[in-house]
Amino acid sequence: MKRLAKVLGVLGGIAAVIWAMRDRFISVAISREPQPPSFRVPPAEEDPAVDTIDGIGPVFAKRLTDAGIGTVSRLAQASPDSVAEAAGVSSARARSWIDQASERV
């Protein structure tokens, strides 16, 4: 029993020393130099995906993305025949999508 009391006393003493010096341990780990100021940079506008165009759902968007026409700007630059072939739609529907994309670019 005396041995248990000694062990607990030693562990309690070690814990008390660590508790008393906790600020010192923390301050060693934290850099004392202030962080440099950060500047707010507006995020660059991303080119929206083709599924934002009316009439293009997830299926047509996947087909167009697989064909390399995944963004609105690429859709605006594409030819109606290549869009129609990639999506499996008529040329008139492809032209409609390209016109909508051209208006957004």
The 10s digit of each residue's pLDDT in 5-48 is: 888 899 888 888 888 777 666 655 566 667 777 787 777 778 89
14 located within any domain: yes
43 located within any domain: no
85 located within any domain: yes
pLDDT at residue 24, as a whole number? 67
Do 28 and 71 share a domain, yes or no? no
Per the structure, the complete domain to which residue 1 belongs is given by 1-32
pLDDT at residue 34, as a whole number? 72
We report the CATH number of the domain holding residue 86 as: 1.10.150.20
DSSP line for 23-68 = HHHHHHHS-SSPPPP----PPPPPPPBGGGSTT--HHHHHHHHHTT
Domain count, the chain: 2
89 located within any domain: yes
Query: Residues 41-74: pLDDT tens digits?
Result: 777 778 899 999 999 999 999 999 999 999 999 9
41 located within any domain: no
